[in-house]
Amino acid sequence: MGGGKGIVTTVSQTDSPPGPGFVAGIRLATGIHQTDAFTVANLLAFHAPPRLAHETDESIREGMQAFAAAMDLGPHDEHPPYIGHRIRIRQGMPWLNYADEYSLCVPAARSWLDVADNGGPIRVLVLFNPLAPGGDQQRTAEHVRDCYERGAMRWGTTYHV
């Protein structure tokens, strides 16, 4: 108490996120990771494969790297850093603050919202390599493992405010 010091909960914006044209191709998926010791609400962000004339796998990788850097996500092989308050739940809808004036609406099941609403950690994982939307869980899990093994992802931990 006293001394005028408190917990700083601002979000760093040292790197600029990609523009809205790129962000429109980002897909979000949610899931719950549960053990006997803890429960984590996972948020996976990935980009659809190239679909426009100016898009390439490389431009998508660079865009996703910028997306991850804007949120201060850390290397996949280190403990996921705390990245500030990136999730806000308003009127039952979760929103991801990715360091832009806009936010992305997160499609989430009630179970995911319950973890976030009750103060549980939210792990944000950004994959650099494109992934076609609509794949099953096995295909998505294989892609996450592949990105992990190649170092083509970043992650961090946030909490709902």
Q: Which residues pair with 157 in a beta bridge?
A: 82, 123
In a domain, 15, yes or no: no
In a domain, 4, yes or no: no
The pTM (predicted TM-score) of the whole model is 0.86
The first and second tokens of residue 152, run together, are 């083509």
- Candidate from 15-19, 47-51, 55-59, 96-100 with smallest mean pLDDT: 15-19
In a domain, 10, yes or no: no
Q: Write out the residue range of the structural domain in which residue 108 sits.
A: 20-157
82, 157 contact by CB (below 8 A): yes
Q: How many domains does the chain have?
A: 1
Amino acid found at 30 = T
Query: Would you say residue 5 has pLDDT above 90?
Result: no
Closest by Cα among 69, 53, 67 to 19: 67
Query: Would you say residue 46 has pLDDT above 90?
Result: yes
Q: What is the mean pLDDT of the chain?
A: 89
In a domain, 77, yes or no: yes
In a domain, 11, yes or no: no
In a domain, 9, yes or no: no
Please give the average per-residue pLDDT across 12-34, as a whole number: 86
Query: Would you say residue 14 has pLDDT above 90?
Result: no
In a domain, 2, yes or no: no
pLDDT at site 125: 98
